[in-house]
Structure 1
Amino acid sequence: MLTVPGVYQPQQDTHLLMRAMCHEGVSPGTEVLDLGTGSGVLALCAARFGARVTAVDIAWRAVLAARANALFARRRIRVLHGDLAGDDRRYDLVVSNPPYVPAPEIAPPERGAARSWDAGHDGRAVVDRICATAPLVLAPQGVLLMVHSALCGTDDTLAALARGGLRAEVTDRELIPFGPVMRARLPWLRDTGIVGRDQDKEELVVIRAEHA
């Protein structure tokens, strides 16, 4: 896997989402959309099962990295530069590991490595948009799998998906130590009450949604 500076590197959240994706019975002919593909690791995983994969990222550096990784792996993946879905197709499986880290800045960054994790004060700048987009891009029996930190509001995500007519639930959880980004902004996170005074771990959740 080619890694590129400034492109999100696969971490615990990536592997948690990959595990969930492998439980969905991806097979030849499955139409898969990877929103915010980064280096393309999830797209490649789906392609290895024979799926027809579309991967989208708003960062050109990520698009080029994903295209290169697909080429090196000899897998056919349609990698698009764009914001969220990018076209009018419907998909059997939509996967996303979006930016979700709460940040002191109100608006998410428009460039740089932090673009792949910073998501506004509440961490929901991209998560909420995916919740709104998912009902429009899922096939009738399609499934959305999204991973994010519980710090940005698991119940808020479930409620947002329900408002869009999707039945959603948490299917996996994992408690992990704070990484470098979270540790660097702990004073702000604690001052705002997002993180408890003695808290040194965050819970990652995988949310699965489908049409009700």
Structure 2
Amino acid sequence: MLLLCPPGVYRAESDTELLIDVTRGGGFARGRNVLDVGTGCGALALAAARSGAATVTAVDLSLRSVVTTWLNSRVHGARVAVHRGDLFDPVAGRRFGLVMANPPYVPAASSRLPRHAMGRCWDAGPDGRALIDRICAGVQHVLAPDGDVLLVHSAVCDVDLTLAALDRAGLVARVAATATVPFGPVMRARAAMLESRGLIRPGQREEELVVVRARHA
């Protein structure tokens, strides 16, 4: 599926593809109200719509991403409601049968998150968990009683921390899928920094992508 993706908007990569495969393979979107948090170019939202979702809502803090997702949904004839805002703020008070998220998760040199540069698509603080932890802490408030959360990130960010964070939020979580892929340009450029922090092995130039599934206990 060809998608518009102007500079400054996250382009669908291997992590997005893995999450889409899990969603389609498990029939997670079919007949459900779906929320795509941090939608980027809208790839996850459009995949959910094509997989038979009852409704699809997409949220992103970036105005450019919001406009891009809106355009892509119209070009492909998908009914997607797009909102600008911080994570779950635009949908406060609503509940969704499926919450999907592919947040920024690349460890960065600084704890300061970029607001306007391309780095906002992947920078997530020194350990890569700045957005992951916020999603884990807040997702239960927008998740329907019988709903599912599907969250993808790199094992560099420590999947055990994600499982523990979701457990603290009252959810039962497990690893639903994994895939090993070569480092992309950003990870390659930061390999020395990641090695110095002990986040990867010396000489490691591939990462494991992990999809975590969570439900209410």
**Structure 2 length-normalised TM:** 0.95
- Deviation at 1:53? 0.4
Indicate conservation of the 8 Å contact 2:191/2:205, yes or no. Answer: no
Within 5 Å, which residues of 2 pair with 1:34-113? 34-51=36-53, 52-85=55-88, 86-87=90-91, 88-113=93-118
Within 5 Å, which residues of 2 pair with 1:173-192? 173-192=178-197
Indicate conservation of the 8 Å contact 2:66/2:82, yes or no. Answer: yes
Residue 126 of structure 1: SS of its match in structure 2? helix
Indicate conservation of the 8 Å contact 2:24/2:51, yes or no. Answer: no
Residues 74-97 of structure 1: CA distance to partner in whole angstroms, max 9, x if unpaired? 111100000112222100000000
Residue 23 of structure 1: SS of its match in structure 2? helix
Q: Which of 198, 209, 212 matches 2:214?
A: 209
C-alpha separation between the residues in 2 aligned to 1:177 and 1:46? 27
When the two chains are superposed, the root-mean-square deviation of aligned CA atoms in Å is 0.9
- Deviation at 1:49? 2.8
Residue identity opposite 1:199 in structure 2: Q
**Structure 1 length-normalised TM:** 0.97
Residue identity opposite 1:7 in structure 2: V
User: Which residue number in structure 1 is paired with residue 204 of structure 2?
Assistant: 199
Kindly, what percent of the aligned residue pairs are identical?
51
Unaligned runs of 5+ residues in structure 1 are none
Q: Which of 166, 172, 180 matches 1:167?
A: 172
- Deviation at 1:206? 0.2
User: Which residue number in structure 1 is paired with residue 146 of structure 2?
Assistant: 141
User: Which residue number in structure 1 is paired with residue 16 of structure 2?
Assistant: 14
Indicate conservation of the 8 Å contact 2:35/2:58, yes or no. Answer: yes
Unaligned runs of 5+ residues in structure 2 are none
Aligned length: 211
Residue 198 of structure 1: SS of its match in structure 2? coil
Q: Which of 116, 122, 131 matches 2:127?
A: 122
